[in-house]
Structure 1
């Protein structure tokens, strides 16, 4: 019986030298997207989530952005028709150019208000304007701007591109749901879904347990790990479906209640129901 866990993973490892910049060998590009608003305009942000485990990279203190203006955006500011494909080609060209010439690291992109922005971090910025122009000359129909800012703490990545904790959990949920679907899971079929929450005090754990039992959750176990800052664990289960709406509703309910008690929601797990 296969099982999948939705939560947070932390790795430690040695490092290796790649593209003239030290990167941990545990690093694996992990791109995902989410919707939000930028200056009251609907937006889509895509970013490399795995960088959160290693950033800021001290060898890459300069943020570079390139803004490309859409030729024919929809009323909501997003591209339409073949422009999706063209923006993908522009992205590929910019990434290849800046990675090759500046050893820059592509960290994210935004789409909002008729503008596609691309964000990089680099160790230096010498001739960056030339390299950007060399890439964009292949797309003469597109207007663009660019800029550079010293950003040793990667504020752009963490404070602008990175989702808030609630959206981040929804992204993690979607990752697990995609894996379930790839293995034939039938989302409409309810099954037991386990959740883990950890508390700093035993009294908080018991109060939490009483509240969630009234919401249909069953307490399956109360593990204890004295080495953890939140040593008092609680494993809950409830019969739920694995469609995105159902999972988000259950997870965010437990997550928000955990936040009220300064507890840590630590993910969910279920079995694949394929028939």
Structure 2
């Protein structure tokens, strides 16, 4: 496992879900020495009404997770890559070359006799479950970035519901893409604070609008899609602190 883990919210089968995933391992994935997927699906005892985990069960679930991941890590033949919490279950995912991993998982769960669980394995040399299910999409990465920035604002006493000027940035591969995005921005109430011409193969646009930091998921997902539609990339936002 790497030390670069993060989580994000989404819908899985139209139900609220939360995925916690090892992002750092992506640079080397798939790891050929771990060609099989194993899972452990645990039924939570005190889920919230929406099927996610509750604060009442937080400590028990973290202890269970730590115990299970430690158990499968002893042999060096398995690696823990992420979990999904949804519908009253917490599902843990591992990649392995250990044919006995289900027995290892069952032995680990013997320390938690009050929890119902299931295990399973299948071949997944391409790590399709990691890439197609656990790994965040571009929009999910934007939401992760938004949450991390809002958390930092809160740490400084910011009132995230308070409107203020929000600065944004975007990068484009062509002048026509940059120009088209600027037209989109102006039609949606943004002020264009700076644009650059060709710098190698990059065209930059800096822009701003008065908004609430609490709305940044809605705002930035729209900007992400608009930038992508003009052959570009939305590159984030920033703002002053309002206490």
TM-score (norm 1): 0.77
Match of 2:145 among 146, 149, 172: 172
Within 1, Cα distance between the matches of 2:78 and 2:27? Answer: 18
User: Which of structures 1 and 2 has the larger relative contact order (alpha carbons within 8 angstroms, sep 6+)?
Assistant: 1
Within 1, Cα distance between the matches of 2:188 and 2:208? Answer: 11
Within 1, Cα distance between the matches of 2:206 and 2:47? Answer: 48
Q: Specify the alignment match of 2:205 in structure 1.
A: 234
1:261 aligns with 2:234: no
Alignment of 1:1-275 (within 5 A): 28-38=3-13, 40-71=14-45, 73=47, 76-79=50-53, 82-122=56-96, 124-224=97-197, 226-228=199-201, 231-243=202-214, 245=215, 247-273=216-242, 275=243
Q: Cα RMSD (Å) of the superposition?
A: 2.5
Paired positions, count: 243
Shift of 1:119: 0.7
Within 1, Cα distance between the matches of 2:227 and 2:73? Answer: 42
Shift of 1:187: 1.8
Q: Aligned pair in 2 of structure 1 residues 156, 96: CA closer, same or farther (>3 Å)? A: same
Shift of 1:112: 2.4
TM-score (norm 2): 0.86
User: 2:168–2:208: 8 Å Cα contact kept in structure 1?
Assistant: yes
- Give 3-state SS (helix, strand or coil) of 1:213's partner: helix
Identify unmatched segments of 5+ residues in structure 2: none
- Per-residue CA shift, 1:124-183, capped at 9, x if unaligned? 214313321221111122232212223222111110122332232112111111112112
Identify unmatched segments of 5+ residues in structure 1: 1-22
Q: Aligned pair in 2 of structure 1 residues 112, 250: CA closer, same or farther (>3 Å)? A: closer
- Give 3-state SS (helix, strand or coil) of 2:30's partner: coil
- Give 3-state SS (helix, strand or coil) of 1:250's partner: helix
- Per-residue CA shift, 1:244-263, capped at 9, x if unaligned? x2x12321222121122222
Within 1, Cα distance between the matches of 2:76 and 2:192? Answer: 54
Q: Which has the higher helix share?
A: 2
Within 2, Cα distance between the matches of 1:235 and 1:53? Answer: 30
Within 1, Cα distance between the matches of 2:238 and 2:163? Answer: 13
Q: Aligned pair in 2 of structure 1 residues 216, 168: CA closer, same or farther (>3 Å)? A: same
Deviates more, 1:135-144 or 1:82-91: 82-91
